[in-house]
Structure 1
Amino acid sequence: MKRIALITGATSGIGEATAKLFAKNDIDLIICGRRKEKLATLENELSSLVSVRTLVFDVGDKDAVTKSLQSLNGIWRDIDILVNNAGGAHGLELFVDGDVNDWERMIDYNVKGLLYVSKTIVPWMIERKKGQIINISSIAGKQTYAKGMVYCASKSGVEAISKGMRLELVPYGIRVCNIAPGAVETEFSVVRFKGDKNKAKSVYKNFKPLIAEDIADSIFYCVNVPSHVQIADMTIFPSAQSDATTIHRE
Structure 2
Amino acid sequence: MTAPAAPSPASRIAVVTGASSGIGAATARQLAEAGYRVVLTARRKDRIEALAEEIGAAGHSAVAYALDVTDRAAVDEFATAFRTIGVLVNNAGGALGADPVATGDPEDWRRMYETNVIGTLNLTQALLPALTASGDGTVVVVSSTAGLGTYEGGAGYVAAKHGAHVLAETLRLEIVGTPVRVIEVAPGMVKTDEFALTRFGGDEGKAAKVYEGVAEPLTADDVADTIAWAVTRPSHVNVDLLVLRPRAQASNTKVHREL
- TM category (shorter chain) comes to over 0.9
Q: Which residue in the other structure is 1:7 paired with?
A: 16
Question: What SS does structure 2 have at the residue aligned with 1:32?
Answer: strand
Write the distance in 2 (CA, Å) between the matches of 1:90 and 1:227: 36
Question: What SS does structure 2 have at the residue aligned with 1:241?
Answer: coil
Q: Which residue in the other structure is 2:6 paired with?
A: none
2:146–2:252: 8 Å Cα contact kept in structure 1? Answer: yes
Q: What displacement does 1:51 show? A: 2.5
Write the distance in 2 (CA, Å) between the matches of 1:223 and 1:57: 23
* Letter paired with 1:111: V
Write the distance in 2 (CA, Å) between the matches of 1:62 and 1:244: 33
Within the candidate set 70, 76, 80, 1:70 is matched to 80
1:84–1:133: 8 Å Cα contact kept in structure 2? Answer: yes
- Structure 2 stretches of 5 or more lacking a match? 1-8
Q: Which residue in the other structure is 1:188 paired with?
A: 195
How many residue pairs get aligned? The number is 246
1:4–1:80: 8 Å Cα contact kept in structure 2? Answer: yes
Question: What SS does structure 2 have at the residue aligned with 1:140?
Answer: helix
Write the distance in 2 (CA, Å) between the matches of 1:44 and 1:128: 27
Write the distance in 1 (CA, Å) between the matches of 2:43 and 2:204: 21
- Normalising by structure 1, report the TM-score: 0.95
1:56–1:68: 8 Å Cα contact kept in structure 2? Answer: no
Q: Which residue in the other structure is 2:101 paired with?
A: 95
1:18–1:213: 8 Å Cα contact kept in structure 2? Answer: yes
Within the candidate set 26, 36, 50, 2:45 is matched to 36
User: Is structure 2 residue 231 aligned with structure 1 residue 229?
Assistant: no
Write the distance in 2 (CA, Å) between the matches of 1:89 and 1:106: 6
Q: Which residue in the other structure is 2:218 paired with?
A: 210
Q: What displacement does 1:168 show? A: 1.8
- Normalising by structure 2, report the TM-score: 0.92
CA deviation map 1:155-208 (0-9, x unaligned): 111111111111122211211111110000011111100111221111111111
* Letter paired with 1:118: T
Write the distance in 1 (CA, Å) between the matches of 2:228 and 2:130: 22
Q: Which residue in the other structure is 1:116 paired with?
A: 122
Q: CA RMSD in A?
A: 1.2
- How many percent identity over aligned positions? 40
CA deviation map 1:6-63 (0-9, x unaligned): 0000000000001111122221111000001101100110123223221111112222
Question: What SS does structure 1 have at the residue aligned with 2:139?
Answer: strand
Matches within 5 A, 1:11-160: 11-48=20-57, 49-72=59-82, 77-160=83-166
Point out the more displaced range, 153-162 or 122-131.
122-131
CA deviation map 1:70-118 (0-9, x unaligned): 233xxxx221111000000000001121111101110100000000011
Write the distance in 2 (CA, Å) between the matches of 1:104 and 1:170: 31
Question: What SS does structure 1 have at the residue aligned with 2:175?
Answer: helix
Within the candidate set 195, 200, 205, 1:198 is matched to 205
